[in-house]
Amino acid sequence: MGPAALSLVLSYLIGSIPVGFVLCKLIKGVDMRTVGSGNIGSTNAMRVLGRPLGVVAFLGDFGKGWAPTFLIAPALTGEDQWLRVAAGAAAVCGHVWPIFLRFKGGKAVATGCGAIVGIDPWIFAVAGAVWLVTLVTTRFVGLSSMVMGVAFPVTSAVLGHGAPVICGTSVLALLILLRHRSNLVRMLAGEEPKIRGWRA
């Protein structure tokens, strides 16, 4: 197996580690897929474990995206931007379609953010500010995530990134939008809970 292929395989396997699921099982003895929204992401982990441990779950999911783009891909393949973006994409795919949970995973947000920080923290800083403003204004977490997703490729282009990063962030934005379809449907129907009842 060549270094590029090894980088992708490792990134996918790291992304597949269901951090929130493991924490809920170990600490509460609960299968988080059977409570709340049924999602394995950090927002549902907060519902099951409380905010402090939910933050730990978020950081774990975030790290699954950061490590491949900042550590694994550069160590194995150098600074090739396409390969770093591909490693981040593999990690996100692992989180969304984890081999350890029969390919049923999260919504790509935390791991995608980590992957972006590993490439350029400024993209995340700007898009994260957009997320925060949207959340404060609307109190919808799902909508805030979708708006942030769209902000990723726009910010990448404004900051002067080339095709690898713009393409990668565009694909991530599309995936975030697709994974939040149910949130959008509930929002349009007036059934989406606001910040006091997060649903991820």
Which pLDDT score is estimated for 189? 86
Average pLDDT, integer, range 107-135: 96
Residues 68 and 90: their CA atoms lie apart, in Å, by: 9
3-state secondary structure the chain: CCHHHHHHHHHHHHHCCCHHHHHHHHHHCCCHHHCCCCCCCHHHHHHHHCHHHHHHHHHHHHHHHHHHHHHHHHHHHCCCHHHHHHHHHHHHHHHHCCHHHCCCCCCCHHHHHHHHHHHCHHHHHHHHHHHHHHHHHHCCHHHHHHHHHHHHHHHHHHCCCCHHHHHHHHHHHHHHHHHCHHHHHHHHCCCCCCHHHCCC
Residue 71: name the closest of 11, 144, 139 by CA.
11
pLDDT at 137 over 60: yes
Q: What is the average per-residue pLDDT within 141-164?
A: 96
Q: What is the pLDDT of residue 197?
A: 45
Sign of CA dihedral 49, 13, 184, 148: positive
Q: What confidence tens digit (pLDDT) does each residue in 174-199 have?
A: 999 999 988 888 888 888 878 764 44
Q: What is the pLDDT of residues 66-97, one digit of tens each?
A: 999 999 999 999 989 999 999 999 999 999 99
Contact criterion met (CB below 8 Å) for 194 and 134: no
What integer pLDDT is reported at residue 39 of this predicted model? Answer: 85
pTM assigned to the model = 0.91
- Cα separations in angstroms, 86 against 19, 116, 124: 22, 12, 18
Amino acid 12 reads Y
Provide long-range contacts, Cβ within 8 A and 24+ apart, for 25-34. Answer: 27/53, 33/101, 33/104
